[in-house]
Chains A and B, each alone.
Chain A
């Protein structure tokens, strides 16, 4: 069993209205130190596999095919 975490984030320059709303809400809670917030997604996967090299290649293919929209999003793959 291989455990992996995929993080999907918006590319730089892509407007993130949800991140902006969270940023304003944090400011409203008194966290004046918050300069900016970008919202993303985290996927925790369990793979029935042992080969980490192949698992990484599979995870990247999963990101390209479904988990991320590469028009607007970047992704990062982490294997535990």
Chain B
């Protein structure tokens, strides 16, 4: 399997001087040509699910209808992720130009940033950038305007159809898929929903071309990615790294020398114990991540970690489907009962089965991914849960 050495790159936070020029350049190209460029770059969505961005844009471009929408998913709620906040704070123009680029390609005239309520402090800066660019877009003959919509403290609204429901003034309960938003999204119209970082990557690819972009990363994980690094860590923060490194390299760089486990991909991701660091690739061939990397050293109780995650999911489950609503409650009650000796340790195997059931039976990504953290923590740290 192809791997890469850990290396820092600097594309995303590079000063945003020529976004508008990049837009102008794309506007001289055939739309299909740019979509191919994006598909060839291999860019996969940076929010965590990893759908091929070029294909998403292609489907939206091909969808019938005069009215289409572009939505920037800035509902960054995955525990341990804070890179979108950093992007919106430091290079908002790149995000907005990425949205405009998408609008031009798929034929949408309106875009929305769905910003989580926790990030309202960014609003003055964003409003200014939007006002500036709405004028700039007109100047280069691009009919596209952007507005902000807000979340109100619901993690599940990061799921694209829940986000759309929320924008439509409803409870943030995920929809059945298909239809996918690219054909029936906001107000029933074709809609592209992309993560903040994805839009920035699109602008970068438009600027440097897919050949240059493809030099970074591996076959399955092209490009570079922002990582939100926190926990028991020598240098916490947001880092831009090439995809495809081993977790061992990552821990050598960021750990505090006593790393016991890393939670890759947030509460909905996987817990990797020390012995598996060398064989774990960070990327779509190993463990994909929206960027959340939480490092735990040997002083941490993995029971507390798991308990914290399950409390999180129990609160954030929208409650619409039973596997997730009831499953989260039972997993939490279950590990508490084992810890208190009210249940014997083989009960954990029952809970593992429940977690596996939730993976297949839950309606959306939230319920489907609760089992990731649960199973990987129990498998690797069973003794810490029991004793």
Partners in one complex: no
Residues in B lying within 8 Å of A, measured CB to CB: none
